[in-house]
Amino acid sequence: MKTISRLLLIIYFVSGNLMLAQNSYPQNYFRNPLNIPIQLAANFGAVRSNHFHMGLDIRTNSQENLPVVAAAEGYVSRIKVERYGFGNAVYITHPNGYTTVYAHLNKYFDQLDAFVKEKQYKDEKWEQDITFSPRQFPVAKGQMIALSGNTGGSAGPHLHFEIRDTKTEECLNPLLFGFNIPDNVAPIVSGLYWYDRRFSSYEPGANDVSVKKSGNTYTANIIYVNSPVVSLAIKAVDKANKGFNLGIYKAQLLMDNQLIYSFTIDKVSYDDTRYINGCIDYAKFIRDKMSIQHLSVLPGMKLPDYSSGSNGIISLPDDAIHNIEIVLKNTNGNTSRLITQIQWIKTSEGIVESAQTIHPNEARTIKTENAEINLSENALYDAINFKMSERSDADAVSNAVILHNLYVPIHDHYALKIKPNRKLNDDEKNRLVIELNYGSDKEFIKGKWNGSYVEGQFKRLGVARILLDSSVPSVSPNWKEGALIAGSSLILRGKTDIGDIESFRAELDGKWLRFARIKDNFVYLFDEKCPKGSGVHTLKVTTTNTAGNMNTQTFTFHR
């Protein structure tokens, strides 16, 4: 009888552990922010480039302009208008200590939209970040606050929805608040990996282990490792009933029936979201687009309220066979298990540290003949034997500087200084741009002089060089010069040879005109500033690129 009671108690605590976090948040206080059933395209904590996904991506059936409603009573406390990121966003503060966020919107409700437009014209600035008092725009639960869209850093029509702690501004997992989203699908495992952790998870990197599936249980053959100190990582997704790949909510690692590591994604702040790079195999994510999550703590990973137990490092003091179990759960309690064994086979030695070894929590400056990088103590998640070199580059005004490799993440900004390889006149000195090539893309910043060096700050590794940009930016209209415009908008396509168009100003007949920045386009929707039948108009556009080069163009049209 005592055995049965103990077993029931264990079952109670194991099943109750998942509900504990859910019950600490108000259940069913917030309603669905759309008037259609919630179908998820992404959940809270899903792996994204350099950040966790911080809310729910709710499908809008590939449509735009669906009504978005307030999830609970409160007041509009903030709006944002930006080119990337959230695009157009609304923040609603609620009396229960939470704030909800609605992003990628096309349009605010009429009164709010008119207020924002007036502010944009007053400031002569399209991008905005406005805060409001509780009395300005109160809203009721279910009140229409906006139309859904595809603005900002959105790859398709959807609504991004967040719940935040108003006081701390931490993003909380919305699925812990009792939304009715049917889900009976357990997490799906597609890969298992082990790492020699005597030096670093980066060197030599991941070792693949084959996984077999039987229902919601997965197995792998015994893992033979050549190191007495290892860690594991899992490639897995959660799938909602509609089939989209979602992130893993909870993972546990047990060895010989003892819990040695777990993570749970209940809350993350935007200040800490970049720590995602210390929770995943970054090289696999960049090189192979694979989301592999560590079941251990890297020494420079400092994300609070994420992991528990020990640090997940598996110590194998002898050649005994040890049992491994990995348990994955979603917020609905659907569970998968992976079962395997591990054994240390004594073979080769591990990675040897070099003079250029950098450890987490250690600030370092590394130099070559014509370049210097300054890494802060927070730069690295794990140790690396940092490699830095130069090569000649005929297209640049400096050597190309190879900063280790692009498969190692950097947590915060580092300062990079590069010396030009020829003498520059004063005009040329003011037109320099530092390019960082990190494989999938490039980043450009205007260089600042620091003695004989040109300096810039970056947050990724790759190949850097100094470019001289003597070109000017430009815009191309979607109408012929002097044409009669019968459509609803003016569109200008921006172009610059190096970097980006950093500033844009349009004046219609001498007065500032509100153009929205949509990717590389500048879009004006006709309104009372330029009504039909108003005759011939002159549009003056001034653009400035990364190097600081400016260009002014003039266009005419009939309306």
Contact 204, 351 (CB under 8 A): yes
Tracing tokens 């005592």 back to the chain, one arrives at: 2
> For 27-46, what is the mean pLDDT?
96
Secondary-structure percent of the chain, ordered helix, strand, coil, rounded to 5? 10, 40, 50
Per-residue pLDDT at 450 exceeds 70: yes
Residue 557 pLDDT: 96
Tokens standing for residue 86: 């959230």
| Beta strand residue intervals within 82-157, DSSP E | 88-93, 98-105, 107-108, 128-131, 138-139, 144-147
Per-residue pLDDT tens digits for 220-250: 999 999 999 999 999 999 987 777 899 999 9
Per-residue pLDDT at 6 exceeds 60: no
Residue 113 pLDDT: 97
Residue 20 pLDDT: 40
Residues 6 or more apart whose CB falls under 8 angstroms from that of 558 comprise 482, 483, 484, 485, 535, 536, 537
**Smallest Cα–Cα separation from 209: which of 41, 25, 337, 340?**
340
Residue 310 pLDDT: 87
How much is the pTM?
Answer: 0.92
Split at pLDDT 50, 70, 90, the class of 348 is: low
Contact 90, 118 (CB under 8 A): no
Question: What is the percentage of the chain residues whose pLDDT exceeds 70?
Answer: 95
Contact 413, 378 (CB under 8 A): no
| 111 vs 60: CA distance, rounded Å | 24
Contact 244, 237 (CB under 8 A): no
**Smallest Cα–Cα separation from 199: which of 354, 310, 312?**
354
Three-class secondary structure of residue 478 per DSSP: coil
Per-residue pLDDT at 8 exceeds 90: no
CA distances from 383 to 203, 313, 340 (A): 9, 15, 29
State the chain's mean pLDDT as an integer.
Answer: 93
Per-residue pLDDT tens digits for 488-529: 999 999 999 999 999 999 999 999 999 999 988 999 999 999
Per-residue pLDDT at 452 exceeds 60: yes
Per-residue pLDDT tens digits for 294-333: 999 999 999 999 998 889 999 998 889 999 999 999 999 9
Contact 298, 378 (CB under 8 A): no
Per-residue pLDDT tens digits for 46-81: 999 999 999 999 999 999 999 999 999 999 999 999
Residue 16 pLDDT: 39
CA atoms within 13 A on the CB side of 159: 32
Per-residue pLDDT at 17 exceeds 60: no
Residue 66 pLDDT: 98
Split at pLDDT 50, 70, 90, the class of 481 is: very high
**Smallest Cα–Cα separation from 465: which of 444, 441, 448, 439?**
444
Residue 11 pLDDT: 36
> For 405-420, what is the mean pLDDT?
97
Residues 6 or more apart whose CB falls under 8 angstroms from that of 414 comprise 373, 374, 375, 376, 379, 457, 458, 459
Q: What angle do CA 539, 542, 547 make, to 5 degrees?
A: 160
Per-residue pLDDT at 21 exceeds 60: no
| 172 vs 471: CA distance, rounded Å | 46
Residues 6 or more apart whose CB falls under 8 angstroms from that of 42 comprise 53, 56, 57, 244, 246, 247
Per-residue pLDDT at 359 exceeds 60: yes
